[in-house]
Amino acid sequence: MASYKTIKGFAVQTLPTDPVGTGIADATWSSGGNLNTARERLGAGAVGNTGSAIAMGGSVSPNAQTELYNGTAWSEVNDLNTGRGEVAGTGTTTAALMIGQNPSTALVENFNGTSWSEIAEFNTARVNQFGVGSTTAALLVAGERPGPAGGFQALVESWNGSSWTEVGDLNTSRAKLMGGGTLTAAVMAGGQGPPNSAVANNESWNGSSWSEVADLNTARMEAASGSPSYTDFNVAGGNTGSVTSNQENWNGSAWTEIANLATARRSSSGGGAGGTNQLVAGGNDGSVTAATEEFAGAGATSTLKNLGQVYYNSGANAFKVTRTVLGTGSWASGGNLNTKRMGAGGAGIQTAGAIFGGDADGGSPRYGLHEQYNGSAWSELTDLNQGKAYTGGAGTQTSALNFGGYAPQRWALTELWNGSSWTELNDMNTARFGHASVGQVSTAALAVGGSASPGPNAIVESWNGTSWTEVGDINSARAYFGGSGTPSAGLVFGGPSSALTELWNGTGWTEVNDMNSNARYGVGGSRQGTSTDALGFGGNPGNVNTEIWNGSSWTELNNLSTPRGNITGIGTTSLALAVGGEPPYLTATEEWTLPSSVLNQTITVG
């Protein structure tokens, strides 16, 4: 007969010690020998590991230098025939390929361990592509072409040792991507895609075609990567809209965040012999660097922390659970805007934010002014084509979307920022202002509710990067409220004398638990948050409350320093900005920091 424990119980793992923090167990970054010449944009996918690596070419000034790593130091060997950067590299330290050139050509050179020789060019000249494989069997993937007929590419070519042949295209055009594998089995992750923003897309190659697989956790481009394995490799650092130290490991089916680089950088040379043996050299950490970091974790013995894991620590004689523990969070003063305003659109993260449009002091004119934040100060950039207030925003600092607004009429206008200018795109179906914005990228957003003739409405429209489509209405018509999440999993909250919260699952809205504070007219929100992890703050009249949403309820945290409504909210639940607002009209910026840690906590009863 089965026991009650067998029917109703569950197994609890016994461990000699507590699980360790994020990272491949026992794997850490350490300093290696510096390159002889500091440089960035070396051969992407350049091969190597902690014991043997090659660094070739680079820019900004086209570089022809080649250096070899012996596990301790770099030594210079014979130069490339043609100096270049923003290209692909693959192979080994004794047999490598350098593919492409900036400005865009199809030049290819072969390294035999001693010197370089020019060999057959590939078919379509481009830059910022990625390569995997060997000198006799390689794959060249994606990139970008200059000029009006150029742009991001999905082109893929294969090399058989003597000639290049076009094979099946990627599903998503992009450049500055990362990956691992061989001619017949590869994975390509992230990169830069239209319209000039980092993407998280991940695709797998079976030798004849590409299939979409699990996306990166953090969209990025210009990260260090490269491995002969398509089931075990890392991407380290890169550009997410700002330079990052974040690292992720691909295990053949999913991405896991692991130990970060010691120094955030982009445009490095990187390679590895699998996830626990990787090298990153050169790049840009705010300036061009020669620094090398080594990631190693052979002989791992520790167990990694796994959220929600219940276990018995035999050494401590205690039952424990691994959980995320949040601090209380706090607001601190940031740099002031150049122009005071309220009701502006916003995009980006705390260290790389953007604000555009807004209502001027006294209500006229409505601003088209556009400012960007670098983590400490705001600078003015090119204005919107149409100034407007109570307008929507989504995306990043370098690829932002603005939609709707008021000046002095309701607008359906949509504009896209590409890092240098604003371009008008297809209008929304319903002109409105005061709508909630949901969306983390410029190619996918929701415009929710707002004020459309004759008043507050429940209409929701979805943006797919090209056009707007009406989807399911929210349950309660309203305007001047906050939003977070994505077009497939969104959250909206607050409104005039409202604490209402609604959750979007991609097809319909459900009313969930209200905010604790009812005064939420013009509430700010964490635009880069999610439907299960969001921040709401401020609002009229004179509200300073900050609340965090955990997927089921709101919890009050530390207050803003300054009461304000019609705030522009930017960032995530752990790192956010509260920008501008009223009354009176403000230039003040406050920076929110919410510390968190993954802890192994003893389970106590009673």
Q: Tokens at residue 316, please? A: 């401590």
- Tell which residue, 279, 258, 282, 261, has the closest CA to residue 270: 279
Enumerate residues 6+ apart whose C-beta is below 8 A from 364. 408
- Please compute the mean of the pLDDT values over residues 183-210 and round it to a whole number: 91
pLDDT exceeds 70 at position 47:
no
Residues recorded for the chain: 606
Q: Which residue reads 């080594």 in tokens?
A: 294
Q: What angle do CA 105, 111, 113 make, to 5 degrees?
A: 165
Tell me how far apart the alpha carbons of residues 498 and 487 are, in angstroms, rounded to a whole number: 23
Quick check: 459 and 478 in contact, CB under 8 A?
A: no
For residue 266, give the DSSP letter: B
Quick check: 344 and 360 in contact, CB under 8 A?
A: no
Per-residue confidence band for 298, with pLDDT thresholds at 50, 70 and 90? very low
- Please compute the mean of the pLDDT values over residues 551-569 and round it to a whole number: 94
Indicate left, alpha or beta for 310 from its phi (over 0: left) and psi (-120 to 50: alpha). beta
Q: Tokens at residue 166, please? A: 């076009």
| Structural domains present in the chain | 12-25+305-326 (no CATH), 28-296 (2.120.10.80), 330-599 (2.120.10.80)
Tally helices (H) and strands (E) across the chain: 1, 52
Q: Tokens at residue 120, please? A: 């057959």
Per-residue confidence band for 9, with pLDDT thresholds at 50, 70 and 90? low
Residue 231, φ and ψ in degrees, nearest 5: -115, 0
- Residues 131-149 pLDDT 10s: 999 999 999 999 998 776 6
The pLDDT score that the predictor gives to residue 230 is: 87
Q: Which residue reads 């914005």 in tokens?
A: 437
Tell me how far apart the alpha carbons of residues 396 and 354 are, in angstroms, rounded to a whole number: 8
| Cross-strand bridge partners of residue 411 | 405, 432
Indicate left, alpha or beta for 368 from its phi (over 0: left) and psi (-120 to 50: alpha). alpha
Tell me how far apart the alpha carbons of residues 326 and 311 are, in angstroms, rounded to a whole number: 21
Q: Which residue reads 């905010």 in tokens?
A: 515
pLDDT exceeds 90 at position 59:
no
DSSP 56-125: E--BTTT---EEEE-SS-EEEEPPPSS---S-EEEE-SSSEEEEEETTTEEEEEEE-SS-EEEE---SS-
| Cross-strand bridge partners of residue 561 | none
Cβ count within 10 A of residue 287 = 7
pLDDT exceeds 50 at position 301:
no
| Cross-strand bridge partners of residue 401 | 394, 416
Q: Tokens at residue 95, please? A: 């047999």
Q: Are strands 66-69 and 74-77 parallel, antiparallel or unpaired?
A: antiparallel
The pLDDT score that the predictor gives to residue 22 is: 46
Tell me how far apart the alpha carbons of residues 280 and 271 are, in angstroms, rounded to a whole number: 7
Q: For all residues of the chain together, what is the average pLDDT?
A: 88
- Tell which residue, 606, 599, 439, has the closest CA to residue 529: 439
Which strands, in side-by-side order, build the sheet including 151-159?
130-133, 138-145, 151-159, 164-167
Residue ranges in 358-513 assigned as alpha helix (H): none
Tell me how far apart the alpha carbons of residues 274 and 506 are, in angstroms, rounded to a whole number: 37
The pLDDT score that the predictor gives to residue 303 is: 63
Question: Between these two residues, 219 and 60, which has the higher pLDDT value?
Answer: 219
Per-residue confidence band for 415, with pLDDT thresholds at 50, 70 and 90? very high
Tell me how far apart the alpha carbons of residues 525 and 398 are, in angstroms, rounded to a whole number: 20
The secondary element (H helix, E strand) that includes residue 470 is strand 468-471
Tell me how far apart the alpha carbons of residues 571 and 396 are, in angstroms, rounded to a whole number: 10
Per-residue confidence band for 23, with pLDDT thresholds at 50, 70 and 90? very low
- Please compute the mean of the pLDDT values over residues 575-589 and round it to a whole number: 94
Residue 4, φ and ψ in degrees, nearest 5: -60, -40
Sign, CA torsion 78/81/83/85 = negative
Question: Between these two residues, 295 and 402, which has the higher pLDDT value?
Answer: 402
- Please compute the mean of the pLDDT values over residues 546-572 and round it to a whole number: 94
The pLDDT score that the predictor gives to residue 38 is: 92
The pLDDT score that the predictor gives to residue 471 is: 97
The pLDDT score that the predictor gives to residue 196 is: 82
pLDDT exceeds 70 at position 6:
no
